[in-house]
């Protein structure tokens, strides 16, 4: 958005308001056309969200579900030792019913972290049910 309004900073107030309105309206039209074409192509999320999910899916190989409780959908996910990171295995609790993971990324972004993706894969749960609707096109 800053790049849309960049040249308007040195204008008088009335001109800034007019330029802001015109540039923002143009930006919304452009974004609307882009989203419309993505919807027609069958996309459910933006390419940025898909990239985040793909990145998290690539890290799933480093995780294993160690314990789980079907009653309350609570899982213990352990990250395996990585010689590149030089750290010992760490365990994370994932509570799907509460949209919770100990790493904090799941709560903060409302997107599945690699621990949640590991749990969904282990439990044969559709991953998209844990992507917040705000990210839908």
Model confidence over 51-106: pLDDT tens digits?
Answer: 999 999 998 888 899 888 877 889 999 988 666 666 677 899 999 999 999 999 99
Taking the complete model, does pTM exceed 0.85, yes or no?
Answer: no
79 and 103 belong to one structural domain: yes
At 28-64, the pLDDT tens digits run: 898 888 888 888 888 888 889 999 999 999 988 888 9
* Domain range enclosing 35: 2-40
Q: Which is nearest to 103 in space by CA: 125, 49, 95? A: 95
102 SS3 class: coil
93 and 125 belong to one structural domain: yes
Q: What is the DSSP letter of 7?
A: G
């Amino acid at each position: 958005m800053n790049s849309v309004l960049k040249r308007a900073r040195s204008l008088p107030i009335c001109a800034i308001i007019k330029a802001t309105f015109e540039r923002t309206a143009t930006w919304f039209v452009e974004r609307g056309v882009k989203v419309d074409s993505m919807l027609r192509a069958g996309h459910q999320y933006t390419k940025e969200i898909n990239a985040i999910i793909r990145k998290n899916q690539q890290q799933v190989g480093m995780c294993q579900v160690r314990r789980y409780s079907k009653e309350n959908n609570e899982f213990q996910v352990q990250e395996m030792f990585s010689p590149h990171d030089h750290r010992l295995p760490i365990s994370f609790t994932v509570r799907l019913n509460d949209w919770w993971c100990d790493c904090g990324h799941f709560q903060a972004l409302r997107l599945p972290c690699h621990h949640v993706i590991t749990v969904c894969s282990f439990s044969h749960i559709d991953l998209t049910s844990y992507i917040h609707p705000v990210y839908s096109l």
